[in-house]
Amino acid sequence: MQVLKNVHQELWHFRVRLVAAAGFVLFCFALLVARLIWLQVLQHETFAERAESNRIAVVPIVPNRGLIKDRNGIVLASNYSAYTLEINPAKVADLDATIEQLGQVLEIQPRDKRRFKRLLDEAKHTDSLPIRTKLSDEEVARFTAQRFRFPGVEIKARLFRSYPLGEVGSHLIGYIGRINQAEKKAMEDWDDETLANYRGTEYIGKLGLEQAYEKELHGITGFEQVETSAGGRAVRRLSSRPPTPGNTLHLSIDIRLQALVEELYKDRRGALVAIDPRNGEVLAFVSKPTFDPNLFVDGIDADSWRELNEDIDKPLLNRALRGTYPPGSTFKPFMSIAALNSGKRGPNEVIMDNLTFSFGGRTFGSPETDRPGPKDMRAAIVSSSNVYFYSLANVMGVDLIHDELEPFGFGRRTGIDVAGEVTGDLPSTEWKRKKFKRPEQQKWYAGETISLGIGQGYNNFTMLQMATAMSTLATGGQRFKPRLVRDVEDVVRHDNRRIASDALPALPLKPEHVQVILNAMNGVTLEGTSRLAFQGAPYQSGGKTGTAQAVGLKAGEKYSAIRQDEHKRDHSLYVAFAPVEQPTVALAVIVENAGFGSASAAPIARRVFDYLLTGQYPSEDDIAKTQLGQSFAPTGTPRRAQDVPLPGAPNTPKAPASAASAASGARP
């Protein structure tokens, strides 16, 4: 049976399909045209910039970090260039295998692998990380010959920080290290301009002046516009802006004096701060033991970090800035000026010293070296009478003591130009309420006031605070914020920007009151506890020895330095100023667990004054005796300071003939 087709109907269906297909084709073509217009016309500039950015790479050029120099131009921190072998983890398929193969070409020690792993954990996956640093020329040539075997591995020339004097002054100089994740997060809060200036920067100041003056030392980052191939290789340099080196810091520190004091301590623990009272410039800022900041520049290895961190002597602790100690008898001159200033006791008022003071059923004693008898203020300071100052503390009360001595800088930060300073403790009734949580601990008991008079009890201060207070007293109330940096040198413009210590309002001290205290402190060096250390000195100075308990004794228990464990022995302290007629240096020094202040701390102070005021450097034999705590006045033939080489730096510039250099060179 034959089926008849409807030709007209099929033709109509065919035309409909043809029109639909043509419409679809036209619609797709319209989309392509629209997309073409969008890309080529409306988004032309955007994609042109992208194409250009793919062709041109902007490479940051990290600037040379600024130098750090002492007051005499001796370089304390500098830079040098060296080759590093670096791996980009994003471009390496098998990281462990690559490292093992690299070990067949160059020596890669286990500590190098541990450091690389730590950096890998801290860094972004796309960062290029060093597996070996400071390659020799031979090692560079050896790797270059095998370069084709290691995609993602390359040799780069990088700047490294160097501390040529090693451990000398490490706590005040600080060190730099690779930026960690916490620091990267903190940098997100920086303004855009500052953040842009740190593009390409991998190292930042971590401690001391390196940290405090980071933005001065960093410099201004430069850049290069480089045309690249499709594979990312540089073809040619199109333009560049050179980086601007960081500024140079000129310190008030005399690094020869710093090195001398550190040598006098040797293996003992302690701190010394010396200040020019005329302007607040810090001449020496010593914390012992020290550490080598060069260990941190390249990333300290685990063994070295463990050794430093677990050392019982705590070499990483900046004792001058963060170590707090009871001041002992060095507090007595300040108690005296507080009594005079408040009118609670006159200079001629006599107290009978029977070597004991009873209060609230408890007896407060005196050291075995004390002598009984009537004593006025001068005699009490010269002989370091405990009973005189027990009674004075009882008369004044804790809050008056606090209010009179807090303006000297006790119990608060001095404002020195490095971070990390602690406040210490100058107690008061309000202080105790805030210090303790339990109600029974918050109450101040009258018996607690007595020991404050001799610098014990809750009193705890840093040597920086003690030196600042001594400076204020020596000048009759003139106050400055202590500073470590004298000026900042712009290495491009070759000009110096002076950074003066901030002058604070002077304390309203009566000159006749101040003179009583300073004369008494001068008597300490002539007839008192430090007379042996200052015997034969060609200048007049004032000072006060102190012996502070490191561990409290039980009632009725007697102290024996011989039997005590070393870390439980008393601390040796000394505060001083010189010369008496016009003070140019004030200092505070502590030797931890060294016993009497006259035996260990005062001899160090004598040698500091000899250096600063006469330009004399102790003989080798005298240094050896002082290191053992077996010296008083200097022995042997002293050397000229400028003739003694600095440790690790035989070619450093010579010091001025007299460190009266530090005194005469200082601006009042």
Most confident of 261-265, 567-571, 654-658: 261-265
Choice among 34-48, 261-275, 323-337 with the minimum mean pLDDT = 34-48
1 Cβ contact list (under 8 Å, min separation 6): none
Predicted confidence at residue 575, as pLDDT, reads: 98
Please give the Cα distance from 582 to 360 (Å, whole number): 45
Predicted confidence at residue 111, as pLDDT, reads: 82
pLDDT confidence band for 591 (50 / 70 / 90)? very high
Residue keyed to tokens 């390496």: 92
Q: Is 329 a catalytic residue?
A: yes
CA distances from 501 to 212, 318, 628 (A): 16, 22, 36
Could you tell me the two tokens for 311? 């050392």
Query: 26 pLDDT exceeds 50?
Result: yes
Question: Using an 8 Å Cβ cutoff, are 325 and 348 in contact?
Answer: no
Parallel/antiparallel/unpaired status of strands 270-275 and 75-87: unpaired
Interhelix angle 332-342/463-474, rounded to 10 degrees, is 50
Residue keyed to tokens 């870390």: 567
Question: Using an 8 Å Cβ cutoff, are 524 and 542 in contact?
Answer: yes
The mean pLDDT of the chain is 87
Question: Using an 8 Å Cβ cutoff, are 372 and 355 in contact?
Answer: yes
Please give the Cα distance from 95 to 164 (Å, whole number): 36
Please give the Cα distance from 99 to 106 (Å, whole number): 10
**Which residues make beta-bridge pairs with 204?**
177
CB-count burial class (<10 Å; 0-12, 13-18, 19+) for 155: middle
What would the 3-class secondary structure string for 417-430 be?
A: CCCCCCCCECCCHH
Predicted confidence at residue 558, as pLDDT, reads: 45
pLDDT confidence band for 538 (50 / 70 / 90)? very high
Residue keyed to tokens 């629209």: 34
Please give the Cα distance from 605 to 576 (Å, whole number): 8
Question: Using an 8 Å Cβ cutoff, are 378 and 347 in contact?
Answer: yes
Tell me the mean pLDDT in the region 69-94: 89
- At 135, the amino acid letter reads L
Query: 658 pLDDT exceeds 50?
Result: no
Tell me the mean pLDDT in the region 406-420: 95
Please give the Cα distance from 174 to 292 (Å, whole number): 10
Per DSSP, 476 falls in state T
Please give the Cα distance from 493 to 432 (Å, whole number): 53
pLDDT confidence band for 483 (50 / 70 / 90)? very high
158 Cβ contact list (under 8 Å, min separation 6): 81, 82, 83, 84, 130, 133
DSSP characters for 412-464?
A: S----SSS-----B---HHHHHHH-SSHHHHSPPHHHHHGGGGT-TT-BB-HH
pTM of the model: 0.85
User: Is 202 strand, coil or helix?
Assistant: coil
Predicted confidence at residue 128, as pLDDT, reads: 79
Question: Using an 8 Å Cβ cutoff, are 408 and 507 in contact?
Answer: yes
Predicted confidence at residue 456, as pLDDT, reads: 94
Q: Which of 325, 365, 379 is nearest to 575 (CA)?
A: 325
Parallel/antiparallel/unpaired status of strands 571-578 and 585-591: antiparallel
Question: Could you report the per-residue pLDDT of 547-584, keeping only the tens digit for each?
Answer: 987 655 444 444 444 445 667 788 999 999 999 999 99
Catalytic residue among 329, 385, 631, 661: 329
Tell me the mean pLDDT in the region 615-626: 95
Please give the Cα distance from 295 to 133 (Å, whole number): 13
Predicted confidence at residue 17, as pLDDT, reads: 79
Q: Which of 574, 575, 571 is nearest to 548 (CA)?
A: 571
Query: 147 pLDDT exceeds 90?
Result: no
CA atoms within 13 A on the CB side of 120: 14
Question: Using an 8 Å Cβ cutoff, are 272 and 615 in contact?
Answer: no
User: Is 546 strand, coil or helix?
Assistant: strand
Could you tell me the two tokens for 303? 């063994």
pLDDT confidence band for 129 (50 / 70 / 90)? confident
Choice among 300-304, 431-435, 584-588 with the minimum mean pLDDT = 300-304
Q: Which of 536, 512, 514 is nearest to 526 (CA)?
A: 536
Predicted confidence at residue 233, as pLDDT, reads: 57
